[in-house]
Amino acid sequence: MDFVKDHTWQILIVLNYAIALSAVVTILFKKLNPTKALSYIIGLLALPFVGIIVYYLFGQEYRKTKIFSRKHVLNQSIVKKIQDALELNTKAINEVDDLLDQKSKLIPLLYNNEKSKLTINNDVRLIKNGDEKFKLLFKDIQEAKNHLHLEYFVIKDDKIGTELLNLLCEKAKEGLEIRIVIDDVGSSISSKMKRKLKDCGVEMHAFMPVRFSNSTGKMNYRDHRKIVVIDGKIGYVGGVNVSDQYVNANNDRYWRDTHIRIVGEAVKPLQILFFTTWDFVSDSEIQISKTYFPEHHCKATVPLQIAASGPDTDWSNIMEAIFVAITNAEDYVYITTPYFIPNSEVITALQVVARSNIEVKLIVPKNSDSWIAEYATNSYLQMLLEAGVEVYQYTKGFIHAKTMVVDGVFSTVGTTNMDYRSFNINFEVNALIYDKKISNELTQFFTDDLKHCEKLELESWKKRSKRTKLIEATARLMAPLL
């Protein structure tokens, strides 16, 4: 006993490195991205105890083990019939081929990856900022007749959140089915509000609750999606969460974001996506009926695919779509993202396209809501500037929009940031839109945002202090863990 007491620290160090070396062997066998693997290995070996905790919380890899089962929902006959009805329409693809040129490769890519089918009969409305989104959303909720499905990374019961949750309670009392999925890390709802929702008949489940006893890897694989489906007829998707932070009327800092409202066939894959999540988080096996998939009579014709990615998909669907869209650009690529911590594939694509005399512009925040993400983002900008990419820092407030426009014919709006976490770890969803009108509107959004940006110049950017560059380099090393 005296020996143990006298050598406690040495024993702990030995145990630490025994566990760390075991974890290193596991990392090597997983054949992770070399940069990500190296980051974990350095952390495990250079930071006693801290490295193990970080790896324990963030380093587990579940994509191949398939803990996120979707079979119950996807095997139900009604869902299969809906998916069959949304057949990959060769005629429709041929009709948009002239518009898209090489970008039509995206359509079969997403179909082959995840059976994401092209839908044609859709009406799409671009929404700028949370104020506009919640005005539209509340009106649609008030007019709902059958069911309301919400899936959000962030829901807080602050001013806007309480208004939304109270409205859902009212609709539940009218007899509507209300289902809510909240991410357990991103969301914060008081016990009082949770009891109220339950008493009103609202069903709500947390996605992968994080508790110390079973938290292995659960700081990873968060549900970063923002989805609303109303009566199976109207869908919302984009960057705006439910919090006062996203509403400029309730927020001290200007928050620039982009969302979309969809009416038409594309709501069906959004509905299926919600049910796959609901099946995972709820204890009961839900039986899906045709009521959730009503016939649409939308006369608008905006071609659109719903792309989803996460640990439950075999491929990084959204990242691959972004990569293909960039590499097939002929005139320009305009990207807005709050966090630019990309993988080597996207960096290379942007550099090659820019050096091919194609206009590439990127908007990122000047001041992020995360200091480490800000420094990590800044560490990538010089290599873009050297390749001819025009980089702009948004100064009016914080820009949280996640959008891209290519050649005025393709655009995407969704939840996916240009970072490792969105590409490989979190559950994400984007709408891929093949339409000139929507692309032109989104280009106008981009142009308007440029008025509130500072353009970076290569020579002045190089003159950042050595201290700043060192912090950026350190943050970049940690980027795969962010």
List 36, 218, 224, 268, catalytic entry:
224
427: left (phi over 0), alpha (psi -120 to 50) or beta: beta
Buried b (16+ CB within 10 A) or exposed e, 437-464: ebbebbbebbeebbebbeebeeeeeeee
Distances 233 to 145, 404, 432 between C-alpha atoms, Å: 11, 26, 19
List 131, 402, 419, 449, catalytic entry:
402
Whether residue 400 lies in the annotated active site: yes
List 400, 419, 435, 449, catalytic entry:
400
Whether residue 224 lies in the annotated active site: yes
Whether residue 331 lies in the annotated active site: no
Whether residue 223 lies in the annotated active site: no
Amino acid at 161: G
Are residues 164 and 142 in contact, defined by beta-carbon separation less than 8 angstroms? no
430/425 Cα distance (integer angstroms): 15
Are residues 27 and 40 in contact, defined by beta-carbon separation less than 8 angstroms? yes
Whether residue 149 lies in the annotated active site: no
Kindly tell me the number of DSSP H helices and DSSP E strands found in the chain. Answer: 19, 19
List 131, 157, 183, 231, catalytic entry:
231
List 244, 279, 407, 435, catalytic entry:
407
List 156, 218, 226, 233, catalytic entry:
226
CA atoms within 13 A on the CB side of 217: 11
CA atoms within 13 A on the CB side of 296: 27
User: By C-alpha distance, which of 135, 225, 233, 215 is closest to 181?
Assistant: 225
Whether residue 183 lies in the annotated active site: no
Give the active site residues: 224, 226, 231, 400, 402, 407
